[in-house]
Amino acid sequence: MTLTPRPLPIRALALCATLLILGGAAGILAGALGPWAIFRVFHNIEISLPGFVFLWGGLSLAVATLVFLGAYRSPLLCLLGALLVFRWTAEAERKVPERVKFQLAGAQLEAASSVNRLLDQFHIPDVQIADLNTPNPDLLGAGLGWTVKGAQVLLLGGLAGLPGDPVAVWLFTHAVRGRCRACGARWLLARRPRFCPACGTPAQLRGVRLCPHCHARARRGDRHCAACGTALPSALKNA
């Protein structure tokens, strides 16, 4: 990491990213504390279960907590966290209703069967704890949706903060490499070399034109070099 102050647009973007990240984590937190499953027992008693009692909600809550504890400083980590939350909420959408029905069926068998056996002797209709035929989407609570929205905001924040992310910058400066078209040597892209450090050929990246005289970078549509005024060939081949 360099100690030079970062340019204003990057800092403004980083601030924006941090706000989005914290907002997204707050959404995930509220979602995981909110109801993920709502169902009725004995026809009129409504029970709601918060997200964190399920594995997927607990994991989402952990991501939000980590963001607040300091992960908000790394947009890259937040981005990964948001992707994980997407995965877990998608899984929860399918599996939470199954889990609820499974528990209800178990309770029905355990608690109600002895009572029902007694009732059967007197030809009284069985006690039903809950209606197991409820469609799966009807069993899902609003908290799951809040968690997904929070993860979307967290993802946006992570993307916005990527240019200023220390890990992403480190990866770019230490891992992303260019390649010399003449000799095949590789160099770190962050060095922005004008010549190949191995053979001295003007370093050309795909889609980038260099001035044949001073080797300054030309922009698309330039007819003359902005640095030295030399006329640029329309399509510069390898020098």
Token reading at 237: 């081949």
Segment near Zn ion (CB under 5 A), from 70-78, 85-93, 101-109, 206-214?
A: 206-214
Token reading at 54: 């399920």
Q: Which residue lies nearer to Zn ion by CB, 63 or 225?
A: 225
CB of 226 to Zn ion, least distance (A): 8
Q: Which residue lies nearer to Zn ion by CB, 174 or 213?
A: 213
DSSP states along 81-141: HHHHHHHHHHHHHHHHHHHHHHHHHHHIIIIIHHHHHHHHHTTPPPP-SS-TTS-GGGGB-
Q: Which residue lies nearer to Zn ion by CB, 167 or 198?
A: 198
- Please tell me whether residue 77 binds Zn ion under the rule CB under 5 A: no
**Environment class of residue 174 by beta-carbon count within 10 Å: exposed (0-12), middle (13-18) or buried (19+)?**
exposed
The count of chain residues that interact with Zn ion, using the rule CB under 5 A, is 16
Contact with Zn ion (CB under 5 A): which of 199, 208, 231, 239? 199
Check residue 27 and report its DSSP letter: H
Radius of gyration over every alpha carbon of the chain, rounded to an integer in angstroms: 30
Site string for Zn ion, 148-177 (x = CB under 5 A): ------------------------------
Segment near Zn ion (CB under 5 A), from 72-80, 87-95, 102-110, 193-201?
A: 193-201
**Any idea which residue has 């922005």 for tokens?**
192
Contact with Zn ion (CB under 5 A): which of 213, 224, 231, 233? 213
